[in-house]
Amino acid sequence: MCLGIPGQIVAITDEARQMAMADVSGVRREVSLAPVALGPLADLVGAWVLIHVGFAMAVIDAEEAAATLEALRGLGEAQETLEQMAEGAKALEDQ
């Protein structure tokens, strides 16, 4: 359930109604910043948000995203090492 997609806030369009233009891969749509308007709206320009049914529901945390990817990179490297070891072992067996 609940299709949500990342988009970047590019401009505030209606301060009073907390509306802003968001860009998703070059597609623009006006969204409400109401759920993420904890401070001045202008601070959100440039931020990546998670958009659901026309609302910016969360500001995406770049550090958390990087941490997730970093952990995966470690796993990927470990996997490559494992595969190389397996290949090495197989090569030895084949000899």
Partner 1 sequence: MTLRDERVTLAHGGGGKAMRDLIESVFTSVFNPPGMEDQARLMHASLQEPGARLAFTTDSFVVTPVEFPGGDIGKIAVCGTVNDLAVGGAKPLWLSVSFIIEEGCEVALLRRLVASMAREAEKAGVRIVTGDTKVVNRGACDTVYITTAGVGVIPSGRDLDARSIRPGDVALVNHVLGDHGAAILAARGDLMLSTDLESDCQSLGHLMEALIAAAPGTKAARDATRGGLASTLNEMAEAAGCSVELDETALPLRPEVKGVCEILGLDPLYLANEGTLVAFVPEAEAEAALAALRAMPEGQGACIVGRAVPKGNVPVTLRTAFGGTRIVDMLVGEQLPRIC
Partner 2 sequence: MRYVEEFRDPKAAKALIAAIGRVADQIGATREKPVHIMEICGGHTHAIFRYGLDKLVHEGIEFIHGPGCPVCVLPMSRVDDCVTIAERAGVIFTTFGDAMRVPGTRKSLLQAKADGADIRMVYSPLDALELARRNPGKEVVFFGLGFETTTPSTALSIQQAAREGLTNFSVFCNHITVPEPIKALLDDPHMVLDGFVGPGHVSMVIGVHPYDFIARDYRKPIVVAGFEPIDLLQSVLMVLEQIRDGKAEVQNQYARVVPEHGNPISLAAIADVYERRPRFAWRGLGEIDASGLRIREKYLAWDAETKFGIGYAASPDDEPEGCECAAVMTGRLKPTACPQFGRGCKPETPLGALMVSSEGACAAYWTYGGARVAAE
Interface with partner 2 by CB under 8 A: which residues?
Answer: 1-6, 17, 25, 29, 32, 34-38, 48, 50, 52-55, 57-58, 60-62, 64-69, 72-73, 75-76, 78-80, 82
The number of residues making up the chain comes to 95
Q: Which does 27 bind (CB under 5 to 8 A by kind): partner 2, partner 1, none?
A: partner 1
Pick one of partner 2, partner 1, none as the site partner of residue 28 (Cβ within 5 to 8 A by kind): partner 1
For residues 95 and 31, give the distance between their C-alpha atoms in angstroms, rounded to a whole number: 64
Stretch that binds partner 1, among 9-17, 18-26, 37-45, 74-82 (CB under 8 A): 18-26
Distances from the Cα of 56 to the Cα of 16, 35, 61, 70, 86, angstroms:
16, 6, 13, 26, 47
CB distance 83 to 58 below 8 Å: no
